[in-house]
Structure 1
Amino acid sequence: MSVKSMRQAADNRAAHNQAQINAQTSPLAALRRALEWVMSEARSMSPADVPAVTTRITRVARDMNERSRP
């Protein structure tokens, strides 16, 4: 695959997933759809990139957990 076609495929995936997220009526359904997109994109990640992305996602989860505490 050429770089141009890979870029187009990524743009198409992004547009499709963003439309799916925007179409959700529930905020939690939109969150679930966004997380599914993350997992889908993770399949094509370089193993070297996984720890950094895991750290970012863990930071978001920890922040959400802190906010839910009374």
Structure 2
Amino acid sequence: MSIRSQQSTADNRASWHSGRIAGAVSPYERLRHALEWVMAEVRARPKTDVPGVVDEITRVARTLNERSRP
């Protein structure tokens, strides 16, 4: 796949997912669409990059968990 084709595909994914997030009414629906976007981006990457993405997402989840504690 050429660079131009990859960029076009990524732009299409971004505009489609951005539209879904913007059109959502509930904040949880917006979150679900954002997570679906993350999954789509991870699927588009090589399998060797996935562990790094998982580590980053896990770090964000831990941070959110720590902030929610009293």
Q: TM-score range by the shorter chain?
A: 0.7 to 0.9
Structure 2, unaligned runs of 5 or more? none
Deviation (angstroms), 1:2? 2.5
Deviation (angstroms), 1:24? 1.1
Query: Is the Cα contact below 8 Å between 2:21 and 2:34 reproduced in 1?
Result: yes
TM superposition score normalised by structure 1: 0.86
Larger helix proportion of the pair: 2
Secondary structure at 1:25 match in 2: coil
TM superposition score normalised by structure 2: 0.86
% identity of equivalent residues: 53
Structure 1, unaligned runs of 5 or more? none
The separation in 2 between residues aligned to 1:52 and 1:2, in whole angstroms, is 24
Deviation (angstroms), 1:29? 1.1
Q: What value does the CA root-mean-square deviation take over the aligned residues?
A: 1.3
**How many residue pairs end up in the alignment?**
70
The separation in 2 between residues aligned to 1:9 and 1:44, in whole angstroms, is 10
Q: Which has the higher contact order (CA 8 A, sep 6+)?
A: 2
